[in-house]
Amino acid sequence: MHEGETPVTLQQAAALVAAQFPEWAGLPLAYAGAGGTDNRLIRLGEDMVLRFPRTPGAAAQMAAEARWLPWLAPQLPLEVPAPLAFGQPGEGYSHPWQVLQWIAGANALVAPPADDLAASGALAGFVAALRAIPVPPDAPLMPEGGHLCPRDAFTRQMIARITDEADPAEVMRLWHAALALPVWKGPPVLVHADLHPLNLLTQQGRLAVVIDWGAFCAGDPAHDLICGWMVLGPAGRAHFRNLLGVDEATWARGRALAFSKAVMAAPYYRNSNPALHGVMRRALQHTMDDWPR
């Protein structure tokens, strides 16, 4: 999925478990789908999953998750992953890795929420609860303040690679408009910062679990509004905004952030991750359709 990423085989995983966690040696192993953009997932028995970072950056994110998720979990209305153990490099695999509790469910792309308004309420409750938690002094801060300007060079590269996802000229026009928006000047709040359908699990038609906390940090609250365009329909999006009481400036930044993420990811993952490409292609269209004329 990325140039130079580190692969892992079932044989390597079995050897790593046997050497470092002998109490779990011999449990059956199986790939859990294609995994995410940052990690390869391997089921361990019925109740656990192994998480192997694809890149050094993903390994660093995993360590941060282990620090914060146990503290966050009891304060949030939706379930989050529970880290169980950490493994060390070995058997030809070069990164630290992780053992987590397996959570039943399907991602919100494969199994969308049955009720858009109910989903908007669940997401608003989750975002509000996360924002309400006082920011700890050692919380990670959003890189470069979460501003769009540092993304400019890469975004322009991705716009040049857009084919049938959208009209590149219109995308460039809206990208200039996004860059011109005022930046956030308020105090930072805690944000997940990557609320797209592949990071949300549903159970029996309802949103129940938020996974992949690699982008968790303190920063602009608009970063957790991207689910409005990536997960919800128009009615759910409006309900989500009303429940959170989002002002126009913050909503505009949220739309621009969702647009930016879609512009960067849709061409990047076109061939390597069809599911994520589809999510980002739809988000790109939703944000463009919703942009004020």
Task: Report how far residue 105's alpha carbon sits from residue 145's, in angstroms, rounded to the nearest whole number.
Answer: 34
Tens of pLDDT, residue by residue over 165-186, are 999 999 999 999 999 999 999 9
Of the listed ranges 59-73, 125-139, 152-166, 237-251, the one predicted with least confidence: 59-73
Q: Where are the alpha helices (DSSP H) in 133-167?
A: 152-161
Tokens for 150, please give them.
Answer: 């540092």
Q: Are 218 and 191 contacting, i.e. CB atoms less than 8 angstroms apart?
A: yes
SS3 81: coil
Tens of pLDDT, residue by residue over 36-74, are 678 899 999 999 999 999 887 778 888 888 899 999 999
Residue 281 φ then ψ, to 5°? -65, -45
Q: Where are the alpha helices (DSSP H) in 138-211?
A: 152-161, 168-179
The predicted model scores a pTM of 0.91
